[in-house]
Amino acid sequence: MPHPLAASLHQSMALPVMAAPMFIVSNPELVIAQCASGIIGSMPALNARPQSQLDTWLSQIEDGLAALRSAHPDRPIPPYAINHIIHQSNDRLQADLETCARHQVPLIITSLRAPNQVVDAVHAWGGKVFHDVTTLRHAQKAIEAGVDGLILVCAGAGGHAGTLSPFALLGEVRRIFDGPICLSGAISRGQDVLAARAMGADFAYIGTRFIASTEAHAQPEYKQMIVDSAAADIVYTPYFTGIPGNYLKPCIRNIGLDPDHLPEAQGTNFGSDSKKAWRDIWGAGQGVGNIDRTLPTADIVAQLRDEYQQALLSVQDHFTTKERA
């Protein structure tokens, strides 16, 4: 039986997918479009600049989703999520959390540090916390902090990814945690979503696929680079933020650096000026090779749903055929 929180979220969803919050790229329009399509939409709090804009953006998301639910009472429209970087260099964390508290944001995604104090604050307003982890030890610390769900950021995921295979990490984490789990790592097709569910995850976590969406706040050149790239065009390096992550090699070449011979990282920074590091350096996961065009979010999710259903039918047909034989 699925965990009660996972089951509750599934009831409000058309597809078991949580959209990953992408720095600079995610915005209210994308979040609303993702939720309207039946998946959990999300964005980083740090994308709202100045900090006061976060209040405006949360109101925009809430008003947009309320209007959709009123106009389409039978449509599955899940809640949205806001991501917070729990790192000492994030000088906006407290202010952003206070803004989220005023809006009683339903889902909070935390990253890069055990979210002990954040969990208590979010639970106080009735929200739920999902925490990014890349290792079993990170998962254990998050569970000890009282998180409601885990996001396994595995090898091949865009942005600050881990190095472990999703098969390895998911199996180990499931031994110690029966709560909701999102699985990430080069997931860009409906077949991948079904595979994540078959492995024991409750949701697939998809980011890169939505960079190449019409609603995403990404430069046209960035979207085209996603469409034109393959897994071999991704490099894993800590150089740009101090935390290892996956990036597109062509954009690194465009600023005069050799992506295969980058210098050592110079500290870690997720403060108010961290946007500069991402203006011309574009993150992406290894699933880029399965993305061949930019589409509206609704069309992307519809394609994922079709692929998911076709894959499910194919698997069911395979086992039915074997049973008959």
- For 54-87, the DSSP string reads HHHHHHHHHHHHHHHHHH-TTS-----EEEEE-S
Measured CA to CA, the distance from residue 110 to residue 172 in angstroms comes to 21
pLDDT truncated to tens, each residue of the chain (325 aa)? 789 999 999 999 999 999 999 999 999 999 999 999 999 999 999 999 999 999 999 999 999 999 999 999 999 999 999 999 998 888 999 999 999 999 999 999 999 888 888 999 999 999 999 999 999 999 999 999 999 999 999 999 998 899 999 999 999 999 999 999 999 999 999 999 999 999 999 999 999 999 999 999 999 999 999 999 999 999 999 988 888 999 999 999 999 999 999 987 766 555 544 445 567 899 999 999 999 999 999 999 999 999 999 999 999 887 777 666 5
Q: Helix, strand or coil for residue 288?
A: helix
Measured CA to CA, the distance from residue 8 to residue 91 in angstroms comes to 34
Domain ranges of the chain: 4-218+296-324, 220-278
H-assigned helices in 20-152 = 28-36, 53-71, 93-103, 116-124, 136-145
Strand-pairing partners, residue 81, are 42, 107
Q: Which fold has domain 4-218+296-324?
A: TIM Barrel (3.20.20)
